[in-house]
Structure 1
Amino acid sequence: MLTRRSRKEAPTSPQSPKKKTDVLSKSPSKAKKTTPARGKSKSVERKARTRSRSASKKNTSIPRLILEKVDVSDVKNSDRPKRKKSAESPKFKKSPTPVTEVNDKRQSVSPYANKSNESLKSGRQSRLRSYNDDEDYNGKYKTSGGTQFPKIIFDGVLGNVVLTLFLPAIVILAKIALKAKGDLIPFPRGYLRLGNYYDEQAFLWTAVIVCIQILISFIPLSKKTEGLKDEFVPRFYRFTGFVNLIFGTLIVIGMIYFNCPLNVILDIVSKKTVPHVVASTLIALVVSIIIYIKEQKVGSKSFLSKFLNGNSNNPTVGPLNVKLTLYRYSILLTVLYNSLVILESLKNSINIYLIVLSGMQILYAIDKLLFEFNLLSSFYLQRENVGLLSILQQFLLPAINFLPIQILLSKNIPVNFILLGIVSVVYLFGLILQRYSDYIKYKYKTNTAQARNPAGLKTVITMNGKTIIVGGFWSLIRFPNYLGCILVHLAIILPVFDPTLSSLQMLWPVLLYPLYYIVTLVFRSIKVSEYCQLQYGYAWDHQYATKWNLIPKIF
């Protein structure tokens, strides 16, 4: 029998488990509190995992890839493995639109993103080249980016044919109507014979004046002026308009000194007007044929498109610039005709209207010759081609300008000084508006000191670095210079125009004078707008201050 002491010292067998009764039998105060074993933290477990993975990677061997040079020419086609076409692989159809068009459509969202200045310049030049390309005419202007603009009416080959026949015909009818006092029904019998459309003296003097102008233009009377930097081909111009005017004045003074019959020229313009218009038309036809023969190898347009609409915007014959020569010819003849009218009026009874209106035309013509260098920034000099239609316009312009003067020569209109004051104000405003607009446009086009902000006006710089003026008159209309030109010619016609029905029957041919300028400049404003849309892109339609070309809120 074991005592209590021997029980305590007796070894406990490992197989005898400790009974719960022994623990529970002890008193709660003396019972030993057991704490659970603390587990490892999650961070320690993660470190252990990463160490184990790195150790396993060190033990694994890394495979090596050995490349060998193989001559492809030695391998036979039969030895090459053929790629099996899987039934699940989709069949891609060819896109109906070329890749270039798709890319251009994607770029239309941001056409100037990630492009250098050179790429923008080349893209703009390609678009502007395609603007004047009339080959395969389908009624739309095409750009290199796939954008299409509708062509303006009378700008295709058919329209040019109609205008080429219509312009001299309407001028001849207006001249005949002035002689018949506006009554063309029935048609005057005298002009039913072809002999009345030809006069040897009229043909001779018209040809002599054209030859004198050409000879003066051959003389290098001024230094060369470099063209705009954005021209496709660098050009140089000689703006000798005012010098030509001085030469022409000296020739007239010499003719007066040697008693040459200057009255013959006035008789041709005022009395033999129809043969004079016919002679100008035939000479224009000869000049256009010469230009066509010289420029026919340039471009790939059709015969009618080259001959009527022109193939080059600045054709030259040796040192002679044809466009500038014809421009000076029309202006100098206007000065000559009106000067002879004033001299003849001073000899006889003075007609105030005749002197004032002739003086207005002379002042306007001298202004154009004096600031001829402003043509450098004009759409006429830079973009319009020289064909039969444009040559006809320059040759017939002196006869059109002489229409209101011809009315005053045949009819004595009483002077209204209030009307004369209104005419003077409208004329001066139009002249100043045109000269100011042309001068500002010339300043920023030629990259002078005021190129970025001419005259402190508000401007918008486009993404391709071009500047658009949106302040001043340009905040109301896009072409204030065209509006100024129209106001000048409307002011000249006001003293002659009488709104009564009897007067309209006789004076309707005079309306051809302002209508010619209105139709021409409206047509040109639409054409320039389409050109600027190609050049400036998004800024022209969305960042411009106004949408109106000539008249605010109307057109």
Structure 2
Amino acid sequence: MPKSPGNALARQVGEHVRVYIPDTDVWVDGKVLDNHAKYTVELKTGKTIIAPGRQVTKPSRSQSKSPARSRSRSRSRGRGKSPPRTAKTKSATTSPARRSRSTSRSRTTTIPMTSTPAKKTTLSETKTYKIDKEVKDEVRSLGPDTPTRTSARLAAMASTNKQQPESMTADIKQMPRSEKVRKTMQKEFGGAFGALTTMLMLPATVILLYFTCTKGKCVFFKRPELPLQLHAYFNWQATAAYMGWFVAQVLLALLPIGRIVQGQPLRSGNRLSYRLNGGLAFVVSLASLVVAQMYLKYPIAAFVYRNYMQLACTAMVFSTLMSVILYLKARRAANNALNPYGNSGSHIYDFFLGHELNPRIRSFDLKFFCELRPGLIGWVVINMCMVAKDCQDNGSPSYPLLLVVGCQFLYVFDALFHEESVLTTFDITQEGFGWMLAFGDLVWVPFVYSLQARYLLDHRSSVHVHNYALVAILLLNMIGFWIFRLANKEKDTFRKNPHHPSISHLKSIATPSGKRLLISGWWGFVRKPNYLGDLLMAVAWSLPCGFRHLPPWFYPIYFAVLLVHRAIRDEHACRQKYGDAWDRYCEKVKYRIVPYVF
């Protein structure tokens, strides 16, 4: 780290300063946003960087001199996967040209973040952080640092609106380069025993929901009559149909059609690439279903209705087998690819929560695929089969059924045509991909969330909802959808570009990680406004079923418990990540999901 060309005095919030960009030999103009522990400096481009006192200085004329000759910078440079070298090695005296060539072999470069200039440390003692390589290359190309050229060049980089180089337009971040994933000490879900119990209870719940709520009966607290014959749970036709459906979705996802975007930075600082063609898969899947049912006269609707339980059981077995393969694969994965919440050493717990964070087969991301494709589209397919079966049996579908299916269609349509927004969700960024997510995506979503549609088909004669009540229910659903969509849009826009004109007026709080927390707009209303919208829609989907039977209300009841639990989990992770900044945020935004309630 080069010595600061100015005086290292305490800087105040709002003061104009210059901050050193590691591994670029330049100082960039900026303004102090926060001086708690370390400085949060906003560059003229709108990007933010967290830096210790040594890297922040008062502007002066002497700063035009390049600090490239300092020796401490060569001592602090990391070498990718190679063992770190101490200050006594030959790398400390290597020429700048040779250092540049060696650096280009790795994707990123590391820098030490020491806050005490007097203390001498070796590479083995310092914590290393990194910045996007493309950003550093652009800054490094400036040559010797001058205030005018630096600001102008960085401003030009920020003003480009190209979609492709995500890392060039992303915030300048300092992240751990090779920080090892530690053992998971604090277990959730009751540890291994709770995980095992959940893995037994969830499949049983799917089976019980089906057999307690069938045509002619729907009693939740009465023991159902479970058939003992194997064919009531499995047959080769349902197995072949489900496997064909899954393979078809894989092939659609692999089509070289659609934008390629990059996800959130990983622990290593790299970003995974994702191809977005979920909208195409959705349209092709539903169009194929309509053609096969209406024009080719394949009885798909009758087949799905008749083999509902067999399809669900096949999905259970398939998701479990896939989870076993995922866990075995994760045992051979690099340490920094593991899930920090599923690295306990307990086989049962890690298998349940997911041992690896983002398992992939080459560029095919299994978690991202299962999150949206087979289960979510399958949910709409099952719903449409219920509508088609109602038409076959009664000549036309009932209005309550059409309302529920239409509202759920809109929900899935929105998710697949805003596919990129899922990359910032809790499931993608925080959850490992194990049995919990695999079962949830492939079994729970399509075969539990379609319960209302199946109930309205089987109990059409006992469901009586006035038209004005249906209009009110539709209005409630649209209010929930409006909150859900606008809140997610606001969050995604802010994470991509906090200075976007549509959200530039919003207030936020700086955090030590360089991110900012919104305290106005939807995210200043409650901490999880998207959860509030989700809950309103869940209630709207059950209201057409009436209050005569409890099973149709299972989804909103379960979903409320899930979202409350997830909000608490997310809050615990944010408090560990953001520290005092999170406490200040909670003082501004007091309620988690429902204002004045929770």
TM-score after normalising by structure 2? 0.65
Q: Any idea what SS the aligned residue of 1:460 has? A: strand
Separation of aligned partners in 2, 1:160 and 1:126: 30
Q: Give 1:421's match in structure 2, choosing from 465, 471, 493.
A: 471
The answer to whether the 8 Å contact 1:474/1:480 transfers is yes
In structure 2, give the amino acid aligned to 1:307: F
2:536 maps to 1:487: yes
Does residue 1:338 correspond to 2:380, yes or no?
Answer: no
- Give the alignment partner of residue 276 of structure 1, picking from 311, 319, 334: 311
Partner in structure 1 of residue 326 of structure 2? 291
Measure how far apart 1:387 and its partner are: 0.1
% identity of equivalent residues: 23
How much has 1:333 moved relative to structure 2? 0.8
Partner of 1:238, secondary structure, is strand
Q: Label 1:185 to 1:547 Cα distance change in 2 as closer, same or farther (>3 A).
A: closer
In structure 1, C-alpha distance between the alignment counterparts of 2:275 and 2:190, rounded to whole Å: 30
Q: Which residue of 1 aligns with 2:403?
A: 356
- C-alpha displacement of 1:543: 3.7
- Seen in structure 2, the aligned counterparts of structure 1 residues 305 and 116 have a Cα distance that, compared at 3 Å, is farther
Give the CA deviation at 1:257. Answer: 6.8
Structure with larger RCO (C-alpha < 8 A, sep 6+) = 1
Q: Which residue is equivalent to 2:252?
A: 216
Aligned partners of 1:134 and 1:305 also within 8 Å: no
Amino acid at match of 1:237: Y
CA distance in 1, matches of 2:528, 2:182: 25
What is the aligned-residue RMSD (CA, Å)? 2.9
1:112 corresponds, among 29, 38, 42, to 38
Alignment of 1:144-543 (within 5 A): 152=188, 154=189, 156-179=191-214, 181-183=217-219, 187-229=223-265, 232=268, 233-256=270-293, 259=296, 261=298, 263-264=299-300, 266-298=301-333, 299=335, 301-327=345-371, 328-346=373-391, 348-396=395-443, 397-412=445-460, 413-447=463-497, 449-450=499-500, 454=503, 456-498=505-547, 503=548, 507-543=549-585
The residue aligned with 2:589 is: 546
Moved more, 270-279 or 181-190: 181-190
2:87 corresponds to which residue? Answer: none
Q: Which amino acid aligns with 2:353?
A: N
Give CA-to-partner distance per residue, 1:200-243, whole Å, 9 cap, x none.
Answer: 32222112111111222222222321223465332111122101
In the alignment, is the contact (CA less than 8 A) between 2:352 and 2:436 conserved in 1? yes
* Contact 1:490 1:514 (C-alpha < 8 Å) held by counterparts: yes
Question: Contact 1:479–1:525 (CA<8 Å) still a contact in 2?
Answer: yes
Q: Please say if residues 227 and 376 of structure 1, whose CA atoms lie closer than 8 Å, have aligned partners that are also in contact.
A: yes
Measured in 1, the distance between the counterparts of 2:490 and 2:310 equals 42
Q: Distance in 1 between matches of 2:366 and 2:54?
A: 37
**Separation of aligned partners in 2, 1:466 and 1:523:** 24
Residue 185 to residue 550, structure 1, CA distance change in 2 (3 Å): closer
Question: 1 or 2, which has the higher helix percentage?
Answer: 1
- Provide the secondary structure at the position in 2 that maps to 1:224: strand
Whose radius of gyration is greater, 1 or 2? Answer: 1
Task: Say if 1:186 and 1:400 are closer, same or farther in 2 by CA, change over 3 A.
Answer: closer
CA distance in 1, matches of 2:500, 2:376: 30
Shift of 1:195: 4.3
Report the residue type matching 2:348 in the other structure: L
Q: Distance in 1 between matches of 2:128 and 2:544?
A: 52
Relative distance call for 1:293 and 1:462 in structure 2 (3 A) is closer
Aligned length: 422
Structure-1 separation of matches of 2:288 and 2:559: 30
Change (3 A) 1:285 1:424: same
Q: CA deviation at 1:336?
A: 1.4
1:370-421 deviations in whole A, cap 9, x for unaligned?
Answer: 1011112222211111001110001121111110111111112223123212
CA contact (8 A) 1:323 1:386 kept: yes
Contact 1:307 1:388 in 2 (8 A): yes
The CA deviation string for residues 442-463 of structure 1, in whole angstroms up to 9 with x for no partner, is 1121236429x82522212234
For residue 129 of structure 1, report the CA deviation from its aligned partner. Answer: 7.1
Task: State the SS of the aligned residue for 2:517.
Answer: strand
Over residues 250-280 of structure 1, what are the superposed CA-to-partner deviations in whole Å (9 max), with x where a residue is unaligned? 432442476252x34x335434332222111
Contact persistence 1:190–1:196 (CA under 8 A) = no
- Going from structure 1 to structure 2, the CA distance change for 1:230 and 1:470 (only over 3 Å counts) comes to farther
What is the alpha-carbon distance in structure 2 between the residues aligned to residue 304 and residue 171 of structure 1?
21
Cα distance change on mapping 1:312 and 1:454 into 2, 3 Å: farther
Structure 2: gaps spanning 5 or more residues: 1-34, 40-51, 56-110, 115-126, 130-173, 336-342
Q: Which whole-Å CA distance do the structure 2 matches of 1:436 and 1:491 have between them?
A: 19
Taking structure 1 as the reference length, what is the TM-score of the superposition? 0.70
Is the 8 Å Cα contact of residues 316 and 439 (structure 2) preserved in structure 1?
A: yes
Alignment check: 8 A CA contact 2:220 2:551 kept: no
Q: CA deviation at 1:491?
A: 0.6
